[in-house]
Structure 1
């Protein structure tokens, strides 16, 4: 029996996700012609048509969808096999694929990466920045080994390691027209005054929960697509928002007229690592978590916080 190769399975999973030969080939870092040949070879090995091809569209057949689903399971098992083989190697060496969310990456990575490179020169850290749902999906498919994210978040079949608390702060223009930040009251905010990120960014849900925003009329119907867009709107005094400690002294607020104000020790999100339950590299990920937590603590102490 001619069995499919790992490369063919990876290519087909990418095609099923992208539904476009060119985009899938680009995602796999291979030419479109080589990619197409691999897909045809996979169909030949399996004796089934996985893709309906027309001049403009790519449609995955019913059996193709089933094959793609099983391919993900196969690739996950192969990744686990590789993890088992690597488990006897020295910790924090070799390749590590890590996902990180956009509301953490610009604040943690610039200070973390140089220290990790200095402390673990044999660690090859490949980073993927995306929303929580996306990196969680990539984690479970085996594309990522570990993810750096904000908690709480509904996750299944993973282990988590909490690194530190990231407290929420009121952020507004220094002369905002919406409220007196020194006499802030959660229950007396003007309608449509609270600016947040759009759905899909967990910072939105964490802000609503931690900051006890129960009156939805205070939340603007216009949501920002990125943290940088949100900052620009607050700097223009279109509304107020909630940022966290890690953003307070970052580059993102420099050259703006935004000021931040504490709103209580109980308003926070947890920053943590998550990996697949039962991963052979679980102890390594805990070690990585301890290193990140220590580095973060030292960084904040150096700032006098």
Structure 2
């Protein structure tokens, strides 16, 4: 048994398909199947229950796959520690970020970061918060920029900034003339929200509950841009993160007297060899974002 065999097993679990797993490992499907059978023979256990078209993990297969993933992650960390000994500010980082922040935040920082940290290659992965947290925990990601608090208490968290939410309303709406929204102004309004799985939805629900606001029951958006176009069409109201509040003649963005907000942080595993890099990265991000409408933490 070697790390390569364990890598094949983990790839098979991740892709749920022999063909796709083989392609990801740059080997043929028969070769992958043979290596999995060889691993089973070496261990003396059945890892998979096979049928003609699919497979499922046995209980012992699940336990071995979980341990294999951890071993592969630790092996990669050993390689990175050795590499960083020569230059602590160089390497490749797989960085996750969630969809309601990525398109508005990344253009503000990535071009500058590539110049400030020329020896660090950042590979960006955009996913919903739950999936990012899972990938960070299992080693598929090196770090992630997420809303605080972390879903996994074992993550190291470097706070970056606080971003307020504004109320996005059609320009012809009565609230569009307000300079500052008080709680009394929010009576009898319903907010359009994102679909399940977006952390922004949970933040908006918390705000709705605190102020006893309603939700638009007949619509769930998959993105902030869908919500924005619903507002442009005059079909409702929504909460919009301040970085996403782009000027448009048919939308007014009204601040709250007591604004709801989200706190954003850079997160990584406590065992990561890149901790020094992440601290530098976080420091640069905070400097760059100090020129934009957020509060640095």
User: TM range, normalised to the smaller chain?
Assistant: 0.7 to 0.9
Match of 1:14 among 6, 11, 31: 11
Distance 1:260 1:89, change over 3 A: farther
Matches within 5 A, 1:121-200: 121-176=118-173, 179-180=175-176, 182=178, 184-186=181-183, 188-190=186-188, 193-200=190-197
TM-score by length of 1: 0.84
CA distance in 2, matches of 1:70, 1:63: 11
Name the counterpart of 1:279: 272
Judged with a 3 Å threshold, the aligned counterparts in structure 2 of structure 1 residues 65 and 279 are, in CA distance, closer, same or farther, namely same
The 10-residue stretch of structure 1 (94-103 or 118-127) with the greater mean CA deviation from structure 2: 118-127
Distance 1:40 1:126, change over 3 A: farther
Give the CA RMSD over aligned residues. 2.7
Aligned residue for 2:82, secondary structure, equals helix
How many angstroms apart in 2 are the aligned matches of 1:189 and 1:52? 57
How far apart, CA to CA, are the structure 1 residues paired with 2:229 and 2:142?
34
Tell me the CA shift for residue 100 of structure 1.
Answer: 0.9
1:269 to 262, 273, 293: 262
Instruction: Using the TM superposition, give the Cα deviation of residue 224 of structure 1 relative to its aligned residue in structure 2, in angstroms.
Output: 1.4
Aligned to 2:253: 260
1:217 deviates by 3.7
Q: Measure how far apart 1:61 and its partner are.
A: 1.8
Structure 1 Cα separation of the partners of residues 218 and 83 of structure 2: 49
Q: Following the alignment from structure 1 to structure 2, what is the Cα–Cα distance between the partners of residues 243 and 32?
A: 47
Residue by residue over 1:16-47, the C-alpha shift from the partner in whole angstroms, topping out at 9 and shown as x without a partner, is 23322234345556554444344333323323
Matches within 5 A, 1:1-305: 3-5=1-3, 7-28=4-25, 31-176=28-173, 179-180=175-176, 182=178, 184-186=181-183, 188-190=186-188, 193-210=190-207, 213-215=210-212, 217-249=214-246, 257-264=250-257, 266-298=259-291
Deviations 1:269-302 (A, max 9, x none): 111101112433222211110011111123569x
Q: Distance in 1 between matches of 2:287 and 2:28?
A: 43
Distance, in Å, in 2 between the alignment partners of 1:236 and 1:189 is: 22
Distance in 2, matches of 1:153 and 1:221, equals 31
The answer to whether the Cα contact below 8 Å between 1:208 and 1:214 also exists between their aligned partners in 2 is: no
Could you state the TM-score of these two structures normalised by the residue count of structure 2? Answer: 0.86
Question: Structure 1 266/87 Cα, relative in aligned 2: closer, same or farther at 3 Å?
Answer: farther
Name stretches of at least 5 consecutive residues in structure 1 with no aligned partner.
none
Gaps of 5+ in 2: none
Q: Which has the higher strand share?
A: 2
Residue 4 of structure 1 contacts residue 42 of structure 1 at CA under 8 Å; is this kept in 2? no
For residues 196-229 of structure 1, the C-alpha deviation after alignment (integer angstroms, 9 at most, x for no partner) is: 1122111111223356645364453532122232
